[in-house]
Amino acid sequence: MDTSRRQLLRAGLAASVAGRARLAAATPRPFRRPAADTPPASPPDRAARLASSPLAAHEALAEAAVEAARSLGASYAEARLAENTWETLALRDTNVSHVGRSVSRGIGLRVLVGQGWGFAATADLGRAVAKRLARTAVEVARAQDALRRAFGHARPVTLAPVAAVEGRWVSPHEKDPFEVPVADKAALFAEAARRALAVPGVARVHAGVTAVREEKLVVTSDGVKVHQRYVRVYPRFSAVAVDRRRGRFDERAHEAPPMLAGWEYVEDLALVDAAPEIAEQAVQKLHAAVVEPGTMHVVLAPSNLWLTIHESIGHPTELDRAVGMEANFAGTSFLRPEDTGTRRIGSELVNLVADRTQAGGLATTAWDDEGVPAGRWPIVERGVFVGWQTTREQAAWIGEARSRGCAHADAFDSVPFQRMPNLSLQPGTEGLTTEDLIAATDRGVYISGRGSWSIDHQRYNFQFGGQFFWEIENGRLTRPLRDVAYQANTIDFWSSCDMIGGAGTYRLGGTFSDGKGEPGQSNAVSHGCPPARFRARVLVAGGGA
């Protein structure tokens, strides 16, 4: 063995030790409380505060709109008062480059007339609005009902029953992010940026945080009146390393996901302590080796795997996609209603559960936008596809008596339709750790963080990147790699899953921008998972094939 090879191995050994220490470092604080079977309770005092919210003052308007629609011939009417407040803080290096707030507030009315759906929305919350809104929504519904004639025979609209309910819910949070002064928020990210910029080779830091407060009050002609408020935060931090002489650059982003939580979540991330390591890894990426392409094991950290779950399991199990309602845009699905309970799409180890009651989950709620209580139900059991995401209109399509509670509209002027619940890979029973998965792997890549993502419109063929990549050889992390992507077919990929971490390794990932529908809407949704091992085709991301 020549000297350089020995040096490389020694360096690899050091990297391996450091790599293990770092496995956990960039991972956010876990949310590991077991999920509840019933809608999550919010303390009575917090929910009571909703009674004095500005939205509650317009409750009579919502009721009047529903009534007006009924009197104009609607068989079903549903009014949604919604107020979404966003605060965005952005830093370029240590400087604040943007402080912004946005508020959208208004009322949307959805009606069913004959077999046609109609919708009308306005930001005007004046008293005279109810009748005008109802007239417009009914006019729209009549045009849709008339358009059915163009189809000859169209699918009938029937709504699964919902229990009349009146309630309030506020998502759990300790510190309202809107009450933390902007200067204090900026100071935290500026200090983290300062630490990152102290690392030689780091030329730019992008940082910031988005806080969202979403409040809505839904009133329906079926006796639903639910008022809810959600608080979500999304911290962002990334370092860009630039080698100007060689004309190269690379970026390393923190792996903290957005969360249904308050400012306490951002504080607990200890971003300032994590910053130097993020920065060092940005520089490491510049000098890392290029991966040797081929089909091999990939060990995927939760910070990477959540998005693969979202795209390859989350979207194809949306029933509206499977029946073709998204054919003109988001696409359809490789799954069909008749596959339910029979089609194997993964190995025996693979269990996936939808859960709108999960602590910290971005799609967690007490009731959906049709007043259906939040629940938890299986999507994949021991590798077999068993369950769909549905709304009241969709339940009958698969012979189910009740909606799964997946209706959601992202703003007052958006039409509610089927959106993804939190959908998570369940931990293995053997209590495996990330180290166990790596130790069992002869040759492969360990991938963490979210990188590039792309998948076809029926969710077969996908390709994902990541934030950081380690070569695995003979059960050890040997050296960092760069420009790695993995490619697979959904069923091959999940069928190859042969190791899944235990409950202690389970983490949530998530996104604010689950996109679907025309006009396009964004849904906030989380996906929990342990690390897991698969076989996939690994390729060099930057250089062609």
Partner 1 sequence: MPGRSDLRALARDLLRAASLPETVVWVRARAVGHTRWFHEGPTTAGESERVDVHVTAAMDGRSASVRGVAERLADARALLSEAEALARLAPKDPEHVPPVGAVKVPRVRRFDRRLAAAGPEGRRKLVAPAIERALARGVQPSGFCRVEVQRTVVADSAGLDAYDEGTEIALSLTCRTPDGTGSSKGGVVSHRLRGIDPAALGERVAAAAERARAPRPIDPGRYTVVLAPEAAADLLAFLRVAMSLRAAEEGRSAFSAPGGRTKIGERLFDERVTIGSDPADPRHPSSPLGPGGYPVRRTVWVDRGRLVALPVGRAWAARRGLAPRPMGSSMFVAGGKGDAQSLVRTVQRGIYVTRFWYNRVLAARSLTVTGMTRDGTFWIEDGAIAHPIKNLRYNESPLRVLANLVALGTPVRSGLSRAVLVVPPMVVRDFTFSSTSDAV
Q: Is 101 in the site for partner 1 (CB under 8 A)?
A: yes
Tell me, what amino acid is at 388? W
Q: Which of residues 220-279 bind partner 1 (CB under 8 A)?
A: 240, 242-251
Q: Which of residues 273-292 bind partner 1 (CB under 8 A)?
A: none
What's the closest the beta carbon of residue 540 comes to partner 1, in angstroms? Answer: 9
Q: Which of residues 111-130 bind partner 1 (CB under 8 A)?
A: 115-126
| One of 11, 25, 103, 290 touching partner 1 (CB under 8 A) | 103
**Cβ contact 533:440 at 8 Å:** yes
Q: Where are the alpha helices (DSSP H) in 296-349?
A: 302-309, 319-323
What's the closest the beta carbon of residue 420 comes to partner 1, in angstroms? Answer: 17
| One of 62, 380, 477, 485 touching partner 1 (CB under 8 A) | 485
Q: Is 154 in the site for partner 1 (CB under 8 A)?
A: yes
The binding track of 24-53 with respect to partner 1, each residue x by CB under 8 A or -, is ------------------------------
- Strands in 114-140 per DSSP E: 116-122
Span interacting with partner 1, options 46-54, 91-99, 171-179, 433-441, rule CB under 8 A: 91-99
What's the closest the beta carbon of residue 47 comes to partner 1, in angstroms? Answer: 26
How many other CB atoms are found less than 10 A from the CB of residue 487? 16
Residues in contact with 295: Cβ distance below 8 Å, sequence separation at least 6, in sequence order:
535, 536, 537, 538
Q: Where are the alpha helices (DSSP H) in 269-402?
A: 271-287, 302-309, 319-323
What's the closest the beta carbon of residue 59 comes to partner 1, in angstroms? Answer: 18
Q: Is 443 in the site for partner 1 (CB under 8 A)?
A: no
Tell me, what amino acid is at 363? A
What's the closest the beta carbon of residue 525 comes to partner 1, in angstroms? Answer: 18
Q: Which of residues 454-473 bind partner 1 (CB under 8 A)?
A: 454-461, 463, 465
Distance of alpha carbon 200 from alpha carbon 203, whole angstroms: 8
Total number of residues shown for the chain: 545
| One of 50, 69, 112, 141 touching partner 1 (CB under 8 A) | 141
Of residues 307, 293, 301, the one with CA closest to residue 468: 301
Task: Give the pairing of strands 507-516 and 423-425.
Answer: unpaired
Q: Is 82 in the site for partner 1 (CB under 8 A)?
A: no
Helix (H, G, I), strand (E, B) or coil at 67: helix
| One of 56, 323, 396, 398 touching partner 1 (CB under 8 A) | 323
**Cβ contact 533:465 at 8 Å:** no
Q: Which of residues 163-222 bind partner 1 (CB under 8 A)?
A: 181-183, 186, 190, 203-204
